[in-house]
Amino acid sequence: MTLGNLDERREAITEIRSAVAALCAGYGEDYWRRLDADKGYPTEFVTEMTEAGFLTALIPEGYGGSGLGLFEACAILEEISRRGAHAGACHAQMYVMGSVLRHGSDEQKQAYLPKIARGELRLQSFGVTEPTTGTDTTSLKTMARRDGDVYRINGQKVWISRVEHSDLMVLLARTTPREDCKKKTEGLSAFIVDLRHAKGNGLTIQPIDAMINHHACELFFDDLQVPAENLLGEEGKGFRVILDGMNAERILIASECIGDARYFLDKATAYAREREVFGRPIGANQGIQFPLAKCYAEMEAAALMVERAALLFDAKVSCGAEANMAKMLAAEASWKAGDAAMQTHGGFAFSREYNIERKFRETRLYQIAPISTNLILSYIAEHVLELPRSF
Amino acid sequence: MKVLVPIKRVIDANVKVRVKADESGVELTNVKMAMNPFCEIAVEEAVRLKEAGTASEVIVVSAGIAQSQETLRTGLAMGADRAILIQTDVPLEPLAVAKLLKAVADKEEPGLLLLGKQAIDGDNNQTAQMISALLGWSQATFASKVAIDGDKLNVTREVDGGLENINLNMPAVVSVDLRLNEPRYASLPNIMKAKKKPLESLTPEDLGVDVTPRVETVKVCEPPARKAGVKVASVAELVDKLKNEAKVI
Ligand SMILES: Cc1cc2nc3c(=O)[nH]c(=O)nc-3n(C[C@H](O)[C@H](O)[C@H](O)COP(=O)(O)OP(=O)(O)OC[C@H]3O[C@@H](n4cnc5c(N)ncnc54)[C@H](O)[C@@H]3O)c2cc1C
Ligand SMILES: Cc1cc2nc3c(=O)[nH]c(=O)nc-3n(C[C@H](O)[C@H](O)[C@H](O)COP(=O)(O)OP(=O)(O)OC[C@H]3O[C@@H](n4cnc5c(N)ncnc54)[C@H](O)[C@@H]3O)c2cc1C
């Protein structure tokens, strides 16, 4: 697909936004509130999104997707979030396939991508984080040992989202102990784990009781056997596989934050115009106006960075700094907008019926996952500003 | 059978319409525009006729400024086959639109002209009736059900008293009401495909139609704010007030 010039792409995303908004209109906020209360998964919503082609936007046309860029994908996730939906339930279906696309063998691509594009296969789980090593990814302890035609996997992961609602998972594990590697980034390998077979055969899944409905779980690997052909990329070069997907993930998550911020401001301004105390709308007080105006300005600034990062990514220009800054600024903007929306709603912000508090909890995640703000600041400090390394 | 569907670009139904400071019209700068909701229903019906094999081709046509192209693309993304833009910056009145559409209909010779009963901007509800008169075709307004039976058309209309069933000869002009169907949203592949569908651009001059406005807009202003009502305790009090205070009965 030729994406066209920027004007054409802008025109197309206007169209995409309207269509996504129309789809989301079928899933009102009551739907999301109910799921949140029951820890339910929005299966119908995700199915409809997939069938309408929105979650397969990034898959090349040759594999049955639309072959669009991050710019378009961002518009989709932003709109989902803006309409009160929880994009976290489905965003990974969009981008986890990227690691197969970039690092998979031809057989793997043929085996998985067309099925993902047709909505027959869910690849929306990504297993990296471990309880004892956290952000220090290269210290992770889960081991995969080659044994004939299989790798035997032992270890533990934590906070792995949507595993119970995914057919496949991309897993990062050590194939060579860290002490035997020249560099700490070596000796890690990525695998495609077929969760349908793994469950009960060496993989135990334990849902975590969490602040938001993100379907994150603890995973325990007890001699799980994964066919050797499921190695993704070269053995020992798995860190690259994961790293290559990170910029895309950050930019997409940033666009969700922009959507959240727009949601909060839509809600807060509507409420401020309507709610009357002291005989006039609360929105007539500068005490209400100014925080909202400030949040709006910060959101628009962050949105520019998100757009810039997405366009650089699509142009295949390195965009590590922009992707990181976009994620940080957008996550901060959405959190501040959430806080302002809470304040504007007064006591009613605490009533679940108003939905603000659910979104407020949801958007808080993005200052921590998939990467915490400190690590972004450290990236900017050391890789952009060239300050001495801190760790 | 070809189906011709005229569509209009209007301010998005969710936008709060504001009057311009100079009272020359409503504010359109930076305002979200969309396809008129009644037009969406007409496009949906036409696409369903095509999917059912009754219609062979669905053509969307819009008269207005260059940006109406975007609205036409929406129609194409919903499933129309091709689009015609009659581009003009002149503000169009219903009769001018009807004349333009007659010229297109003369050229395209559709079996059916399906359009919204009104546009949510001016709420005129005139265009369909005018085209029908200009073409000399039968018409059915406010359709809530459309069924094609050979060269006959069975239409259920929403009228004040309820529903009315009428039978027309084709070609015909049908204006659609809210309950005819629920329009689809475009899928992503269809949005992308729509970019490649043909969009022909014409001008009123090409069609030999004079669109010079005949009505001069003197001023556009907000309707006066409604005053708070009064509560009455009984029917007797209501009647008394209507008779003696409001003096309407
Ligand atoms: C709801 C949810 C869903 C998730 N989904 C997934 C998933 O699908 N897959 C997956 O692999 N992971 C997932 N995660 C994990 C997420 O990526 C991690 O929580 C995140 O990377 C932070 O790691 P940690 O929790 O171990 O925090 P830690 O690494 O323990 O960090 C704790 C705090 O210390 C700070 N810190 C750490 N090191 C430094 C340093 N050197 N300098 C300054 N500050 C530092 C961090 O910024 C952070 O604020 C999810 C997490 C959550 C909460
Ligand atoms: C968990 C909880 C427990 C509660 N318990 C009790 C209780 O036990 N008893 C009880 O009586 N109440 C209770 N409340 C109610 C609480 O005191 C009110 O919610 C609070 O006073 C705010 O009023 P409001 O929600 O009507 O907000 P509003 O008055 O509608 O205010 C909304 C927003 O507008 C702002 N605002 C309003 N007017 C102006 C102005 N002139 N200038 C600038 N800003 C303005 C406010 O600061 C606020 O940010 C409780 C509320 C909660 C959430």
User: Got the DSSP string for A44-75?
Assistant: HHHHHHHHTTSTTTTS-GGGTS----HHHHHH
A391 falls within a domain: no
Q: What's CA B16's distance to the chain center, in Å?
A: 20
Half-sphere exposure of A232 (CA within 13 A, CB side): 31
Percent residues over pLDDT 90 in chain B: 94
Measure the CA–CA gap between B197 and B85, rounded to whole angstroms. 13
Residues of A with a known catalytic role: 249
Contact across the interface for B186 and A4, Cβ inside 8 Å: no
Q: Considering every ligand atom, which ligand is closest to the CA of A364? A: 1
Is the same domain home to A35 and A149?
no
Atom of ligand 1 nearest to the CA of A92: 8
Greatest alpha-carbon pair distance for chain B in Å reads 67
Atom of ligand 2 nearest to the CA of A350: 53
> How many residues are present in chain B?
249
CA distance A273 to chain B (A): 12
Neighbours of A386 (CB within 10 A): 7
- Tell me the two tokens of residue A374: 């400190």
Q: Over 60: is that where the pLDDT of A1 sits?
A: no
Is the same domain home to A16 and A33?
yes
Look at the alpha carbons of A193, A198, A199, A204 in this order and tell me if their dihedral is positive or negative. negative
Residue with tokens 């009401």: B177
Measure the CA–CA gap between A268 and A146, rounded to whole angstroms. 56
Contact across the interface for B187 and A19, Cβ inside 8 Å: yes
Mutate to test the pocket of ligand 2, among A273, A278, A282 (most ligand atoms within 8 A of CB): A282
* H runs (alpha helix) in chain B: 37-51, 68-78, 94-108, 127-135, 188-194, 235-240
Contacts of B34 in chain A (CB under 8 A): 18
Query: Mean pLDDT across the stretch A108-126?
Result: 97
Residue with tokens 């050979």: B150
Is the same domain home to A52 and A160?
no
The residue type of B175 is S
Q: β-strands A280-281, A276-277: how paired?
A: antiparallel
B101: three-class secondary structure by DSSP:
helix
What lies within 8 Å, CB to CB, of A33 at 6+ separation is: A352, A353, A355, A358
A233 falls within a domain: yes
Give the model's pLDDT for residue B230: 87
Q: Over 70: is that where the pLDDT of B149 sits?
A: yes
Percent residues over pLDDT 70 in chain A: 99
- Tell me the two tokens of residue A140: 């992770």
Percent residues over pLDDT 90 in chain A: 98
Is the same domain home to A167 and A272?
no
Contact across the interface for B195 and A4, Cβ inside 8 Å: yes
Neighbours of B227 (CB within 10 A): 6
Provide the domain limits for residue A29: 6-117
Contact across the interface for A19 and B70, Cβ inside 8 Å: no
Measure the CA–CA gap between A18 and B78, rounded to whole angstroms. 12
Contacts of A4 in chain B (CB under 8 A): 195
Measure the CA–CA gap between A64 and A59, rounded to whole angstroms. 7
Closest CA to A157 of A178, A133, A179, A175: A133
Question: Residue A334 Cα, ligand 1 centroid: separation in angstroms?
Answer: 19
pLDDT, averaged across chain B:
96
ipTM over 0.85: yes
Structure confidence by residue, pLDDT tens digits, B27-71: 999 999 999 999 999 999 999 999 999 999 999 999 999 999 999
Closest CA to B94 of B214, B229, B237: B214
A1 falls within a domain: no
Question: Would an 8 Å CB–CB cutoff place B179 in contact with chain A?
Answer: no
Nearest to B192 among A1, A23, A76 (CB): A1
Is the same domain home to A342 and A244?
yes
Question: Residue A338 Cα, ligand 2 centroid: separation in angstroms?
Answer: 17
Contacts of A16 in chain B (CB under 8 A): 188, 191
Query: Mean pLDDT across the stretch B198-217?
Result: 96
Query: Mean pLDDT across the stretch A338-363?
Result: 98
The residue type of A367 is Q
Q: Considering every ligand atom, which ligand is closest to the CA of A343? A: 2
With beta carbons less than 8 A apart as the criterion, state whether A122 and A168 touch.
yes
pLDDT, averaged across chain A:
97
Is the same domain home to A27 and A68?
yes
- Tell me the two tokens of residue A297: 């300005």
CA distance A247 to chain B (A): 24
Is the same domain home to A270 and A372?
yes
Is the same domain home to A245 and A380?
yes
Is the same domain home to A15 and A80?
yes
A390 falls within a domain: no
Q: Over 80: is that where the pLDDT of A167 sits?
A: yes
Structure confidence by residue, pLDDT tens digits, B101-131: 999 999 999 999 999 999 999 999 999 999 9
Neighbours of A345 (CB within 10 A): 20
Last residue of a domain, one of A54, A84, A117: A117
Closest CA to A128 of A156, A95, A100: A156
pLDDT band at B227 (very low <50, low <70, confident <90, very high): confident
Q: Which domains does chain B have, with CATH numbers?
A: 2-245 (3.40.50.620)
Neighbours of B29 (CB within 10 A): 5
User: Got the DSSP string for B147-203?
Assistant: EEETTEEEEEEEETTEEEEEEEESSEEEEE-TTS--PPPPPHHHHHHHTTS-EEEE-
Contact across the interface for A18 and B189, Cβ inside 8 Å: no
Rounded to 10 degrees, the C-alpha dihedral A75/A80/A86/A90 comes to -70
A370 Cβ below 6 A of ligand 1: yes
Number of domains in chain A: 3
Measure the CA–CA gap between A55 and A92, rounded to whole angstroms. 9
Last residue of a domain, one of A238, A263, A283: A238
CA distance B184 to chain A (A): 8
Contacts of A56 in chain B (CB under 8 A): 188
With beta carbons less than 8 A apart as the criterion, state whether B42 and B18 touch.
no
What lies within 8 Å, CB to CB, of A30 at 6+ separation is: none
CA distance A68 to chain B (A): 9
What lies within 8 Å, CB to CB, of A194 at 6+ separation is: A167, A168, A226, A230
Last residue of a domain, one of A184, A205, A238: A238
Is the same domain home to A220 and A159?
yes
Percent residues over pLDDT 70 in chain B: 100
Contact across the interface for B70 and A11, Cβ inside 8 Å: yes
Query: Mean pLDDT across the stretch B79-105?
Result: 97
Give the model's pLDDT for residue B199: 98
Look at the alpha carbons of A327, A330, A333, A337 in this order and tell me if their dihedral is positive or negative. negative
Half-sphere exposure of A269 (CA within 13 A, CB side): 13
Q: Over 80: is that where the pLDDT of A2 sits?
A: no
pTM of the model as a whole: 0.93
pLDDT band at B84 (very low <50, low <70, confident <90, very high): very high
